[in-house]
């Protein structure tokens, strides 16, 4: 497989050096693998720290900045960061108001963030944790006990980040993050497998004429494989799978997310079908975001995430944000 890299062993470090050069508003510690907003710690603000294996960009490093994360810890490709990274990040962003760890539900991430929370508290840092587990496709997977954390991570990081930016307390920021997670559901579809730099070939076998319904962001198996379907059929299956588990009474945020190799031309066409299904099901849409945000290297495919919002969550979603991967407002 052709890749725009030097050698597999330096892919993450090379990307971090490039990120540092492109974004002087960030402090990027390449050696210790920590990305921090340059103005951290911000007096009176709760620090938000997240992280996970690389290969899902712009998640998480691309979401560091005002109105979103205070710091992110990138691991090796599809590999959890280690507790030392998380403790270093927590110390860098703690203003005395406490730190919230936002953790996707993958076994390695959960174990390492739990250990980091204990170590940080030993250093006098108040830590709270929120687990993101929004994927309705499967209950358990290769890397997870319970539901996987996927697209809702963006919603949690953005909305909780806005609450922290306003100076809300750790208890309140944690409660907002939990509310967003509990109000969110996702479903993903793969049209092709992804390729890790270390392996240099597809990580799983997906024949050209088939797709994987309910795939995970590391290529974990979903509910079933079928012959290739149209965008309309995929939208019907994906949205209905979500609505079997979520019955929104309020309007929803919609994320139509690319897995890394699907062009916007296709994603916007897919969004049209997602919106059609929601209209047919009587679900009101408050806001829609389309693009590659929670990716899986070069996987072709898409995921849909819905988050039911009240007026307060919608206000926090609309609040200004300035990060490498998400930016709006003043």
Whether the CB-CB separation of 44 and 2 falls below 8 Å is answered with no
CA distances from 39 to 94, 166, 246 (A): 12, 15, 39
Q: Which of 122, 123, 126, 100 shows the shortest CA–CA distance to 113? A: 100
Q: Residue 123: CB partners within 8 Å, gap ≥ 6?
A: 87, 91
Q: Is 56 a catalytic residue?
A: yes
Q: Closest Cα to residue 266, out of 191, 204, 199?
A: 191
The partner residues of 75 in beta bridges, in order of sequence, read: 53
From the list 37, 60, 185, 218, the catalytic residue is: 218
Block residue for tokens 């307060």:
312
For 266, the token pair is: 């296709």
Residue 73 backbone dihedrals phi, psi, to 5 degrees: -120, 105
| CA separation for the pair 234, 227 (Å, rounded) | 11
DSSP 299: B
**Token output for 123:** 């250093």
Selecting among 56, 88, 148, 158, the annotated active-site residue is: 56
Strand partners, 34: 29
User: Smallest Cα–Cα separation from 197: which of 300, 296, 77?
Assistant: 77
44: left (phi over 0), alpha (psi -120 to 50) or beta: left
Q: How far apart are the first and last CA of the chain?
A: 42
Q: Which residues are catalytic?
A: 56, 218
């Amino acid at each position: 497989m052709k890749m725009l890299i030097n050698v597999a062993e330096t892919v993450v470090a090379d990307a971090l050096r490039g990120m540092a050069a492109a974004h002087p508003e960030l402090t990027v510690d390449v050696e210790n693998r920590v990305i921090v907003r340059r103005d951290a710690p911000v007096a009176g603000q709760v620090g938000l720290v997240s992280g996970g294996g690389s290969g899902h960009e712009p998640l998480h490093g691309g979401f560091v900045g005002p109105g979103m994360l205070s710091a992110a810890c990138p691991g090796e490709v599809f590999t959890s960061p280690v507790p030392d990274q998380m403790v270093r990040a927590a110390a860098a962003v703690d203003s005395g108001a406490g730190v919230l760890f936002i953790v996707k539900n993958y076994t390695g991430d959960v174990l390492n963030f739990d250990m980091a929370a204990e170590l940080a508290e030993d250093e006098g840092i108040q830590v709270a944790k929120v687990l993101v587990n929004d994927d309705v496709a499967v209950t358990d997977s290769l890397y997870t006990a319970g539901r996987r954390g996927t697209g809702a991570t963006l919603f949690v990081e953005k909305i909780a980040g806005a609450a922290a930016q306003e100076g809300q307390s750790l208890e309140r920021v944690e409660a907002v993050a939990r509310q967003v997670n509990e109000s969110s559901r996702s479903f993903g579809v793969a049209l092709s497998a992804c390729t890790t730099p270390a392996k240099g070939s597809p990580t799983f076998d997906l024949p050209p004429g088939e797709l994987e319904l309910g795939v995970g962001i590391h290529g974990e198996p979903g509910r079933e494989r079928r012959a290739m379907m149209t965008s309309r059929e995929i939208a019907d299956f994906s949205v209905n799978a979500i609505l079997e588990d979520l019955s929104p009474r309020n309007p929803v945020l919609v994320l139509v997310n690319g897995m890394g190799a699907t062009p916007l031309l296709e994603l916007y066409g897919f969004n049209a079908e997602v919106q059609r299904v929601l209209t047919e099901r009587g679900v009101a849409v408050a806001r829609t975001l389309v693009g590659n945000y929670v990716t899986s290297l070069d996987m072709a495919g898409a995921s849909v995430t819905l988050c039911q919002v009240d007026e307060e969550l919608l206000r926090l979603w609309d609040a200004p944000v300035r990060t490498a991967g998400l930016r709006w407002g003043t």
